[in-house]
């Protein structure tokens, strides 16, 4: 089986040479042909290509653009497969054999693509390499044997590396040259393949390196205009915006937590082309998918996955059968809810008892909405969102229980941070989170019969489904539970509440147990059972000094309690010694004394969770002069060693202490750039006052290569309310 690898070139010889040499080294001889179409390069590309005897070459007298060049290559190809490959890529071991295995895993697969380090639409993964040798070692960790569990169906594939069965191109036609000189031709090709009845697979078992749009970065203003023009060309052809229609949100889909073989019905409101539905299908192949979409053209694409109703949401949901769906996901904007509470009530009726609704609700107190209004730049608040309390109230009013809100936040500039603090100060509140959250991810459950507080308590008393019952109790207000126990004639309320608290401790619900015990202590401060349980709760949570205080209040202390108190005093002594050692290590890093050894020791302790970010921040504040710099050094070292969990938290602490620290801002930008978070990286670079040459160079590079896909990703910062 022969694969024709088609590469379009225009200058950038160094990239082209690396790409072709990597193909020769890492691809089985005889399994491929390389076709290069040069768009009248003005550097040494033509001369070098002429000296390569194993290439088939087309030389154009002018730059005809990427789609035309690819079509020229396809037209002279002799392979069973066509592989469109950018010249700014470096392929790796097993790359082609793995892609072919996925392509021919089913007659229903039309095209496949790889993952990489730099790409839009979720095809990039975080990487840690800093050289080509390290890159190939990194790639070998992904490119083992073909792994069907690592193949994920997609709405579209980015065309930097796209392998297509040649007969399918014969069926649907070549790249559409209306998208010359390039961009959105891969969106168009992907859509035509899917409409012809074939699947697109992203192969997460195949990694290649991608430098990323090197041919377009020389003229960023023209590039931005090109993106707008070709987006409009796509809409004229297909009737929907590809950036909006193809988008998906991993946070909405991630709210569904079920075993992978679960069978359930899910309805998405505002499903677009089915990006979220496809994500659900990938995780839950037995799920039945339904959608509602206003745009008829986008709905036609989504209908490949399931039944899709076309039209206004309020009209359609009144025609659907009640109590039918296990999940309802709301992707349409809240601003389209003409009568929000009525709208939500109708959606509640579509759910089965115990069914879950997930929606993103704009936060009306978000500083980005409040500030323009206060400056007179926007009208007074209309249907632009809700507050936390309004959201909870509205969902509860229409029969939802277990209403949980997650605040979705974005990075905040130092000027806006000052504005947010002033807002909080004027409102007399301690936290600023209510002004930082752009929207809330709301997950709510339709109330089930028998889910009242009394049923939950009886289940715990009878040891029936205790874990689930305690989880249910965590969604109830402790004051309501205490009042019900007082009114329901349960006998000794204090003994019962202590029993419930002990059950919570046994199931590791320490904060919940603490809430109930504090209620108990307020109503009966002399009860020794409550004091003992409060001491035990603090001990289990690691609050040693508080545990010692509570145990100390007991009028009579058993041998067990005395032993615990002795152990706590010893642990407190050891903890102070550990704090001193940590502070000494941080000072060595600050003064560059045995710095490498100190960083290695500290990062390994972080990896093994011997220290937390909170521990390090505490000692930096107490004993380090250059606080932001030291925190940044530790964060960078963690990132380089592949210890990712504490990185962003450490960088956030550094910038909280010193928001304008140039070193911290630059290092965070570098990390975000490595992770593919280009917009965020650019934002932090722009905050640096008096940027040096290196920072300015990176900023220009990022500005030239703005990500053209507008969608939400799974890395968005979340804070549980």
Instruction: Share the mean pLDDT of the chain.
Output: 87
**Strands (DSSP E) found in 270-409:** 288-293, 307-310, 325-330, 351-362, 400-409
- Say whether domain 465-556 belongs to CATH 1.10.260.40: no
Is the confidence at residue 146, as pLDDT, over 50? Answer: yes
Q: How many CB atoms lie within 10 A of CB 198?
A: 20
Is the confidence at residue 450, as pLDDT, over 60? Answer: no
Is the confidence at residue 113, as pLDDT, over 50? Answer: yes
Considering only residues 280 and 690, tell me which one the structure prediction assigns the higher pLDDT. Answer: 280
- For residues 396 and 400, give the distance between their C-alpha atoms in angstroms, rounded to a whole number: 5
Question: Bridge partners of 416?
Answer: none
> Which phi and psi angles does 341 have, rounded to 5°?
-70, -40
Q: Which two tokens stand for residue 383?
A: 């249907």
Q: What is the mean pLDDT of residues 3-27?
A: 96
Give 122-133 pLDDT, tens digit per residue: 899 999 999 999
Give the model's pLDDT for residue 428: 84
Ordered DSSP codes for 186-246 = HHHHHHHHHHTT-EEEEEEEEE-EE---TTTTT-HHHHHHHHHHHHHHHHHHHSS-HHHHT
Considering only residues 353 and 84, tell me which one the structure prediction assigns the higher pLDDT. Answer: 84
Identify the burial level of 527 via C-beta atoms within 10 angstroms of its C-beta, where 0-12 means exposed, 13-18 middle and 19 or more buried.
Answer: middle
Q: How many CB atoms lie within 10 A of CB 525?
A: 10
Q: What is the mean pLDDT of residues 112-130?
A: 93
CATH superfamily of 585-712: Tetratricopeptide repeat domain (1.25.40.10)
Report yes or no: 278 and 250 within 8 Å, Cβ to Cβ.
no
- For residues 239 and 255, give the distance between their C-alpha atoms in angstroms, rounded to a whole number: 31
Q: Is 710 helix (H, G, I), strand (E, B) or coil?
A: coil
Between the alpha carbon of residue 86 and those of residues 9, 17, 182, 548, the distances in Å are 8, 12, 12, 65
| Domain ranges across the chain | 3-238, 245-446, 465-556, 585-712
Give the model's pLDDT for residue 646: 87
- For residues 550 and 150, give the distance between their C-alpha atoms in angstroms, rounded to a whole number: 52
Give the model's pLDDT for residue 171: 97
Q: How many CB atoms lie within 10 A of CB 102?
A: 25
Helix (H) or strand (E) holding 102: helix 95-103
Lowest mean pLDDT among 201-210, 217-226, 549-558, 666-675: 217-226
Between the alpha carbon of residue 264 and those of residues 256, 261, 308, the distances in Å are 11, 10, 16
Q: Is 527 helix (H, G, I), strand (E, B) or coil?
A: coil
Class of 3-238 per CATH?
A: alpha beta
Identify the burial level of 39 via C-beta atoms within 10 angstroms of its C-beta, where 0-12 means exposed, 13-18 middle and 19 or more buried.
Answer: buried
- For residues 316 and 303, give the distance between their C-alpha atoms in angstroms, rounded to a whole number: 16
User: Residue 335 gets which letter from DSSP?
Assistant: G
Q: Which two tokens stand for residue 478?
A: 């402790």
Give the model's pLDDT for residue 680: 86
Q: What is the mean pLDDT of residues 332-352?
A: 89
Establish whether domains 245-446 and 465-556 are of one fold: no
Highest-scoring range by mean pLDDT, 180-194, 240-254, 527-541, 552-566: 180-194
Give the model's pLDDT for residue 490: 66
Considering only residues 644 and 196, tell me which one the structure prediction assigns the higher pLDDT. Answer: 196
Report yes or no: 299 and 325 within 8 Å, Cβ to Cβ.
no
Closest CA to 56 of 39, 72, 34, 29: 34
Q: Would you state the torsion angle of the CA atoms of residues 642, 254, 613, 408, taken in this order, to the nearest 10 degrees?
A: 120
- Cα-based angle 499, 502, 508 (whole degrees, multiple of 5): 145
Highest-scoring range by mean pLDDT, 245-254, 259-268, 580-589, 607-616: 259-268
- Is the backbone peptide bond immediately before 181 cis, with ω within 30 degrees of 0? yes
> Which phi and psi angles does 689 have, rounded to 5°?
-80, 130
Q: What is the mean pLDDT of residues 109-114?
A: 98
Give the model's pLDDT for residue 720: 31
Is the confidence at residue 719, as pLDDT, over 60? Answer: no
In the chain, % of residues over pLDDT 90: 45
Question: Bridge partners of 37?
Answer: 8, 58
Give the model's pLDDT for residue 709: 40
Assign 293 a pLDDT band (cuts: 50, 70, 90): very high
Between the alpha carbon of residue 211 and those of residues 124, 284, 439, 618, 709, the distances in Å are 12, 34, 34, 40, 17
Ordered DSSP codes for 659-688 = TT-HHHHHHHHHHHHHTT-HHHHHHHHHT-
Q: How many CB atoms lie within 10 A of CB 225?
A: 11
Give the model's pLDDT for residue 714: 32
Q: Which residues contact 424 (CB under 8 A, 6 or more apart)?
A: 430, 431, 432, 435
> Which phi and psi angles does 293 have, rounded to 5°?
-145, 130
Give 657-703 pLDDT, tens digit per residue: 988 899 999 999 999 888 888 888 888 888 898 888 888 888 888 88
Give the model's pLDDT for residue 717: 35
- For residues 680 and 188, give the distance between their C-alpha atoms in angstroms, rounded to a whole number: 28
CATH superfamily of 245-446: Vaccinia Virus protein VP39 (3.40.50.150)
Helices and strands: H and E segment counts in the chain = 33, 18
Give the model's pLDDT for residue 551: 87
> Which phi and psi angles does 153 have, rounded to 5°?
-70, 140
Give the model's pLDDT for residue 524: 83
Is the confidence at residue 495, as pLDDT, over 70? Answer: yes
Ordered DSSP codes for 401-454 = EEEEEEEEE----HHHHHHHHHHHHHHT-S--HHHHEEEEEEEEEEPPTT-SHH
Report yes or no: 277 and 286 within 8 Å, Cβ to Cβ.
no
Is the confidence at residue 605, as pLDDT, over 60? Answer: yes
Give the model's pLDDT for residue 451: 46
Is the confidence at residue 721, as pLDDT, over 50? Answer: no
Assign 170 a pLDDT band (cuts: 50, 70, 90): very high
Report yes or no: 49 and 38 within 8 Å, Cβ to Cβ.
yes
Q: Which residues contact 350 (CB under 8 A, 6 or more apart)?
A: 267, 317, 320, 321, 322, 323, 324, 325, 328
Q: Which two tokens stand for residue 181?
A: 């000189």
Owner of token pair 């600050």: 590
**Strands (DSSP E) found in 331-387:** 351-362
Lowest mean pLDDT among 35-49, 66-80, 347-361, 436-450: 436-450
Report yes or no: 65 and 112 within 8 Å, Cβ to Cβ.
no
Assign 20 a pLDDT band (cuts: 50, 70, 90): very high
Is the confidence at residue 707, as pLDDT, over 60? Answer: no
Q: What is the mean pLDDT of residues 136-152?
A: 93
Q: Which two tokens stand for residue 289?
A: 């998918």
Is the confidence at residue 399, as pLDDT, over 70? Answer: yes
Is the confidence at residue 712, as pLDDT, over 50? Answer: no
């Amino acid at each position: 089986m022969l694969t024709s690898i088609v590469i379009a070139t225009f200058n950038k010889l160094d990239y082209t040479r690396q790409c072709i040499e990597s193909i020769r080294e890492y691809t089985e001889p005889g399994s491929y042909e390389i076709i290069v179409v040069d768009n009248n390069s003005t550097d040494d590309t033509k001369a070098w290509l002429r000296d390569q005897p194993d290439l088939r070459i087309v030389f154009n007298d002018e730059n005809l653009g990427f789609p035309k060049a690819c079509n020229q290559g396809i037209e002279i190809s002799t392979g069973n497969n066509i592989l469109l490959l950018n010249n700014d890529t470096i392929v790796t071991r097993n790359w082609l054999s793995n892609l072919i295995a996925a392509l021919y895993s089913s007659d229903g697969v039309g095209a496949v693509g790889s993952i990489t380090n730099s790409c839009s639409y979720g095809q990039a993964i975080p990487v840690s390499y800093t050289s080509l040798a390290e890159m190939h070692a990194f790639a070998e960790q992904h490119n083992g044997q073909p792994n069907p569990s690592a193949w994920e169906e997609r709405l579209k594939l980015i065309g930097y590396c796209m392998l297509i069965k040649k007969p399918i191109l014969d069926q649907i036609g070549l790249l559409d040259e209306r998208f010359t000189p390039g961009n959105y031709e891969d969106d168009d090709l992907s859509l035509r393949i899917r409409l012809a009845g074939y699947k697109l697979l992203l192969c997460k078992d195949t990694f290649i390196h991608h430098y990323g749009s090197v041919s377009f970065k020389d003229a960023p203003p023209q590039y931005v205009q090109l993106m707008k023009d070709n987006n409009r060309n796509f809409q004229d052809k297909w009737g929907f915006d590809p950036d909006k229609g193809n988008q998906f949100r991993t946070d909405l889909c991630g709210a569904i937590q079920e075993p992978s073989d679960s069978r359930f019905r899910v309805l998405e409101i505002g499903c677009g082309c089915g990006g979220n539905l496809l994500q659900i299908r990938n995780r839950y192949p037995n799920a039945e998918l339904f959608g509602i979409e206003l745009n008829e053209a986008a709905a036609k694409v989504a209908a490949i996955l399931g039944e899709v109703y076309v039209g206004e949401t309020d009209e359609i949901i009144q025609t659907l059968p009640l109590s039918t769906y296990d999940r309802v996901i709301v992707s349409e904007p809240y601003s389209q809810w003409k009568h929000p509470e009525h709208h939500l009530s109708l959606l509640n009726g579509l759910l089965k008892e115990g069914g879950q609704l997930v929606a993103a609700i704009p936060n009306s107190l978000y500083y980005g909405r409040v500030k323009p209004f206060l400056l007179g730049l926007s009208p007074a608040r209309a249907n632009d969102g809700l507050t936390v309390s309004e959201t909870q109230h509205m969902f509860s009013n229409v029969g939802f229980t277990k209403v949980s809100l997650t605040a979705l936040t974005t990075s905040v500039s130092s000027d806006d941070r000052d504005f947010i603090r002033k807002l909080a100060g004027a409102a007399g509140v301690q936290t600023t989170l209510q002004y930082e959250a752009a929207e809330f991810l709301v997950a709510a459950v339709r109330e089930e019969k028998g889910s009242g507080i009394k049923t939950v308590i009886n289940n715990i008393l009878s040891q029936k489904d205790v874990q689930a019952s305690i989880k249910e109790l965590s969604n109830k207000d402790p004051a309501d539970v205490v009042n019900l126990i007082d009114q329901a004639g349960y006998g000794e309320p204090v003994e019962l509440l202590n029993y419930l608290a002990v059950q919570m401790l046994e199931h590791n619900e320490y904060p919940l147990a603490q809430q109930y015990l504090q209620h108990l202590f307020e109503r009966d401060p002399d009860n020794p059972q409550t004091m003992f349980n409060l001491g035990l709760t603090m001990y289990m949570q690691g609050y040693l000094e508080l545990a010692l205080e509570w145990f100390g209040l007991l009028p009579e202390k058993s041998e067990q309690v005395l032993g615990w108190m002795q152990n706590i005093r010893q642990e407190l002594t050891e903890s102070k010694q550990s704090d001193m050692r940590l502070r000494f290590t941080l000072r060595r890093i600050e003064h560059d004394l045995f710095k490498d050894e100190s960083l290695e020791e500290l990062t390994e302790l972080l990896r093994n969770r011997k220290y937390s970010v909170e521990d390090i921040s505490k000692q930096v504040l107490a004993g380090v002069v250059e606080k932001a710099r030291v925190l940044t050094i530790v964060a960078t070292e963690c990132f380089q060693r592949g210890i990712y969990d504490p990185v962003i938290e450490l960088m956030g602490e550094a910038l909280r202490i010193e928001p304008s620290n140039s070193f911290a801002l630059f290092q965070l930008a570098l990390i975000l750039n490595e992770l593919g978070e280009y917009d965020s990286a650019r934002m932090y670079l722009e905050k640096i006052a008096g940027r040096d040459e290196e920072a300015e160079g990176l900023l220009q590079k990022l500005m030239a290569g703005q990500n053209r896909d507008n969608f939400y990703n799974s890395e968005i910062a979340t804070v549980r309310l």
